[in-house]
Chain A
Amino acid sequence: MTPVHEDRPTPGERGLSAPEDWVDRYGDELFRYAYLRLRDPASAEDAVQETFLAAFRARSEFQGRSSELTWLVSILRRKIVDCFRRAAREQPVVDIETEDPEADGLFQPNGWWRVKPGPWVPDAGALLEQSEFWDVFQGCFSRLPPRLAAAFSLRVLEELEPQETCKVLGVTATNLGVMLHRARARLRRCLEARWFQRPEGE
């Protein structure tokens, strides 16, 4: 344990800024975080509101060890998982269809490629800093069917373990595997079409 210094905020409310400032300070960032994962503005707003209310109730538990934003995000992440859990309960996945019409077009009946993956730019590492790339990514992500997007959000963006993701979505491990595979394959294909194969000079 690190010794407590005098100048550190003491645990409890004194480490937190005034709740009436939270919305102005953190509202947009929390909203963006939620909107990216939930893909629906109304659900994202609800998650942000629930987060602030939960933070207000738990304000005495804020330890001052992490930043306020980090603390709020950790609450928001639980609200996002709850939102996916509720949606999955309302519309449970009965059975994943074994045939995927989108993927089936890519392969021949014997399982070999019909439409082969194209070459991608070599300087892919630089993509991380290119905001245009992430705009395209978000566009592709927004085109995923809801269940595939939910699986991808929880497993890849929120980094939940596969087992935990299955529980939240109420699906078997096999189903989750199929959903993630389809989500990744579609994202890859969409990015290939919209980013990696743009005509020169665009």
Chain B
Amino acid sequence: MLSCKDVTRLVSEGLDRDLPLDRRLAVRLHVLLCGACRAYRRQVILLNALVCRRFSRGSARLPGGPSLSAEARERIQASLKKRDA
């Protein structure tokens, strides 16, 4: 049987590639019997889904947060002008 430590590693791997069938079944059996790993798996998968939805490709429109400093703004503006000329 897989240890809990093994299961946490496989939960992460499962987010990056399809696990072989025997691994998948071993994880499924383990979480059936182990409440802690069941919670861990649910939480990591939930976090992954939340992060994917929040930051999905090209979604730059995040309200608030830090903005460009005045110095950086000026520097970038100047570098663009130089090209413009």
Main secondary structure of the interface of A (DSSP, over half): helix
Q: How far does the alpha carbon of A77 sit from the alpha carbon of B16 in the complex, in Å?
A: 20
Q: Are B17 and A124 in contact (CB under 8 A)?
A: no
Interface size class for chain A? 35 or more
A13 within 8 A of B: no
Q: By the criterion of a CB under 8 Å from any partner CB, how many residues of chain B are at the interface?
A: 50
Contacts of B36 on A, CB cut-off 8 Å? 113, 116-117
Q: Are B81 and A20 in contact (CB under 8 A)?
A: yes
Residue of A nearest to B13 (CB): A177
Residue of A nearest to B77 (CB): A23
Q: How far does the alpha carbon of A33 sit from the alpha carbon of B54 in the complex, in Å?
A: 12
Q: Are B80 and A113 in contact (CB under 8 A)?
A: no
Q: Are A56 and B84 in contact (CB under 8 A)?
A: yes
Residue of B nearest to A28 (CB): B67
Residue of B nearest to A157 (CB): B55
Q: Do A156 and B60 form a contact, CB below 8 Å, given A49-B75, A52-B76, A117-B36? A: no
Q: Are A33 and B13 in contact (CB under 8 A)?
A: no
Q: How far does the alpha carbon of A33 sit from the alpha carbon of B63 in the complex, in Å?
A: 11
Residue of B nearest to A32 (CB): B65
Q: How far does the alpha carbon of A202 sit from the alpha carbon of B69 in the complex, in Å?
A: 33
19 contacts between A and B (CB under 8 A): A19-B84, A27-B68, A27-B73, A31-B72, A32-B60, A33-B62, A45-B68, A45-B69, A48-B68, A48-B72, A49-B76, A112-B4, A117-B40, A124-B46, A128-B54, A131-B64, A177-B13, A177-B16, A184-B12
